Chains A and B, each alone.
Chain A
Amino acid sequence: MKLKVIQAAFIVTLISLATVMPLAYAEDREELSFEMWTLDWDTISVDAGDVIEQMLRQIGIRMKAIPMSDEVLYDNLDLEHTYEVYQMSHGYSPYPGHLYSRFHSDEIMDYGGNNPGWSNAEFDSLIDQANAETDFDTRKELLWEAQELLAEDLPYIPLFTSDDVHAIRKEWTGYTCMPGGIFNWYNRLTTINLQHEDQEYGADFVMAYPSYIRYYNPIMGTDGRSALVVSMVYDDLVTYDADMNIAPWLAESWTISADGLTVTFNLVEDAKWHDDEPLTAEDVKFTIDYYIDNDVPYDTALMNRIDSVETDGDYTVIVHMKEPYAWVLDDFEDVPILPEHIWNDKEWDWPVHPDMMPIGSGPFKWDSYVDGEWIKLVANEDFWMEGKPHLGTYTVRVISESSARYLAISTGEADSERYELDTGFIETTSADPNLAPLEDTWCVGMWDYVISFNQRTDPALQDPVVKKAIAYAIDRQELVDIARLGYGTATETFIPPQFFGPAYENPDATTYEYNVFLANQMLDAAGYLDIDADGIREMPAPEEEEEEEEVVAPETIEELQTAIENFSTTLSETRGQMTLLESEVEALGARLNSSLNMAYGIAAVALIVALVAVYYAMKS
């Protein structure tokens, strides 16, 4: 009994000490010291984090790299928004829609894509204009302008892409290197042209997957694993060429009216479904109507902007838009055309399996499978494109463990694998005589690593000077060399032309070349000085509050106009702050809710334990 009392007293003391200690040690001036979260299972993120920590020490900033599990990290990005800095990869889609999804203030919400919570009214309006601009060059100018705003304030700093290098047996040829890799779901050129060096047609290809595909259903098969299979079995209206320009596919040509409100697709004439039904404009119309009528939650940006669809003959589809949409073709690249005669009575989340095999119109047909283990696709003999595809069969095989996958490819049990090589296998692969040289498979990757600053937590991270100094102090090429053994591409801009195609090259873009001296000077000039000489800079001394400007009534029309303009700027800024505030309130509410839920859960457990205890007490 006595012992327990002593124990309890000890614990109480400890807890109270732990609460009080930080208060006792609080300093007058905050240090430039941050926690940078990295993703624990991603060696690239963890290694790059350690290197960045070292690099920033040179400019007196402590950026502590802390590997986090993805559950904790993503929960924080989605709901809690309390992190300070993170460094990991996001992943590009084939067109630069990420400027909207990562930085527009509409995306500041639970589960929203704007993780830093960055809000800028001018940027929002530029992106809104760009999203409604169907002329490529005008749109590009708008995006460049928006990119300049980002470069000024740096909510995140683009670092590098981890590039796609593949283990593929050397007897295979005909694959196309495209940003995102030789085996990516939008790389249809590889799908139709891949062939064995000794066998132009009919060779058998085995692709190793780390796990089974999630969906047989083409609407939902958007994750990397399912999407590749879906893109081989189903056709889309358009596709991408090797430079990431939109290219014809099921639609051999198209026109977009000058006002952007009418899009006309002319289909190829000899397309057939795998069950020999002809594929006509009616199927395309059906697909679009199906998405709209069933409120399918995929490709909503496109579908919400479509007013109606009509057909003109069997091979012309006319799409009427409610408003012009910049990425209309890019988004159609993601919409699998569905056979009306099969889907007309199905729900959108119809599991497809096990009722029947998926019927599409693509270069490969569904042949057989064992759920959870493998899928065999065979070449579609009646494919509308002359002489394609070259392969005879394409087998997807699950090999869960990465070393087992490498062994399988090396011995020839598999020919390649779905994803790029883990950094740990790069050396072994490049020395393996059975595999193609890595230089032949090296494409710019879709996984873009960034260092992102939460704009809601530390005030130092809202100061552009600090972020610019950080940008100057990071040697991106060295990050690539260490974290990805050189198989990466340093990115300087928010729309890197290395990925999105040479058309996005901007010679005037603001970039931050590695320059530690300049970074130090900037921080010195802005008053971030190391006052206690511990190697870490402190925040500048708080400024005296400025006196408020006197308001003078405007006397001339010009003065009035300036006043109005100033006012409207202030107004839009206020609006931005409002959205930020709203999102914070919502986040707070959500946190309250989840802690309530947690409390309920614990209460329930306690109740059960209590009941059991009472039961046993009564029994004895």
Chain B
Amino acid sequence: MGFKEYVGKRTLHGAVTIFLAVTLNFILFRIMPGDPTRAVSGDPRVDTATRLALIARFGLDRPLFEQYFIYLYNLLRGELGISFVQIGRPVIDIILGRKMINTIILMGSSMFIAFILGIVVGVFAAWRRGTRIDISFIVLSLATYSMPVFWFGMLLLLFFSYYIHIFPIAGTITPGLVHPNFIAYAKDYLHHLMAPMITLGVSFFGGYFLFMRDTILDVFTEDYMLTARAKGLPNKMILFKHAMRNALLPMVSLMGVHVTFLISGATMTETVFSWDGLGRLIYDSVRNNDYPVLQGIFLFMAVLVVVASILADVTNAFLDPRIKEAVD
């Protein structure tokens, strides 16, 4: 089997996976208890006639199988449907808009900070293994890792926004303010970003730190470390040039797995800080049984994961002769 066939096969597998995801998405949300028509009517006080009319309009009175095929047909035409909750608004507009950008910025920045901090502190702690500093970092990271993120967020909110008043309480920008230029807008946005970013950064830090520390300790046992030491290289060089570089590889693949976080967001943190992102959208949609929006987000995530893994595999196969040989 040649390289081209391999790519073709992977793509086919990806397509099948996406189809399965679509089907499971559809079934999953409908097996969940709860009636979407309550969300359609929006309010328990809406009278019965109104509710029945809306149910009929959305086709929710039709058999599930018919609804499924309509959904598939619409997907093939590139239609993700229309939100039940915000009637009339296409799902694609709701997902691919401000909310997605907000989530990517929040998740991206906090993961990045946690990643860098995790690496640096992880290397440092591994080097000083067994000392008091190492142990206090482990305790600290275990604490932040197991701390409920919404609780920590509330504490930050109380401290920074209520007692010392340096961060705003909610939102991504100041309501009602017209910004004179982009710099002012960005400044305002960053000001709002700080508290949720710190919260998430702290919650991610523990995991990255522990992972990095363990990997470095593994690397220390490798033969080439001994060689480096025997050559009489300075500690700094051994640590950052030899140990860290090799330990970074598993770290990067971990980061790859975490890419979906960029889209799925952090529901709790976004809710505590009223950050208008996709995580909160998922939460609201689950609460209101807004199937079209949920299906849209999950489909998007599935496609992202599948495409990313295909790309990774194909690139690996292209670059790494061993995989290429195995394929052939």
Contacts and interface: CB of A to CB of B under 8 A. Distances in A.
Contacts of A374: 171, 175-176
B97 interface: yes
Interface string B220-249: 000000000000000000000000000000
Interface string A380-405: 00000000000001010111110110
B24 interface: yes
A410 B165 CA distance: 12
B162 A393 contact: no
Contact of A215 (B87, B273, B276): B87
B88 interface: yes
A35 interface: no
Interface residues of B, number: 61
B64 A349 contact: no
Interface string B150-163: 00001001100110
Interface stretch (B40-48, B253-261, B298-306, B310-318): B40-48
A372 B99 contact: yes
Interface stretch (B29-37, B113-121, B123-131, B207-215): B29-37
A597 interface: yes
Interface stretch (B50-58, B70-78, B104-112, B132-140): B50-58
Interface string A398-418: 111101100110110100000
A589 interface: no
B43 A224 contact: yes
Contacts of A34: none
A93 B45 contact: yes
Interface residues of A, number: 66
A353 B169 CA distance: 27
B23 interface: yes
A18 to B, nearest CB: 22
A601 B49 contact: no
B170 A408 contact: yes
A567 interface: no
Contact of B50 (A215, A297, A397, A399): A297
Contact of B157 (A109, A407, A600): A407
A371 interface: yes
A223 B50 CA distance: 13
A111 B48 contact: yes
A222 interface: yes
Contacts, number: 166
A400 B175 contact: no
B87 A349 contact: yes
A401 B151 CA distance: 12
Contact of A407 (B65, B97, B158): B158
Nearest to A106: B48
B173 interface: yes
B161 A407 contact: yes
Contact of A600 (B34, B35, B64, B158): B64
A349 B280 CA distance: 25
Contacts of B158: 407
A349 B83 CA distance: 12
B43 A395 contact: no
Given A222-B42, A370-B175, 18 more contacts: A70-B34, A72-B34, A74-B38, A90-B44, A90-B45, A93-B45, A214-B87, A223-B42, A349-B88, A351-B87, A351-B88, A371-B97, A393-B176, A395-B175, A401-B272, A404-B272, A404-B273, A407-B157
Interface of B: 20, 23-24, 27, 30-35, 37-38, 42-55, 57, 63-65, 85-89, 97-99, 154, 157-158, 161-162, 165, 168-173, 175-176, 178, 271-274, 276, 280, 284, 289
Would you list the 9 A-B pairs with minimal beta carbon distance, nearest first? Answer: A71-B34, A297-B53, A374-B175, A351-B88, A399-B170, A597-B64, A223-B42, A372-B276, A71-B33
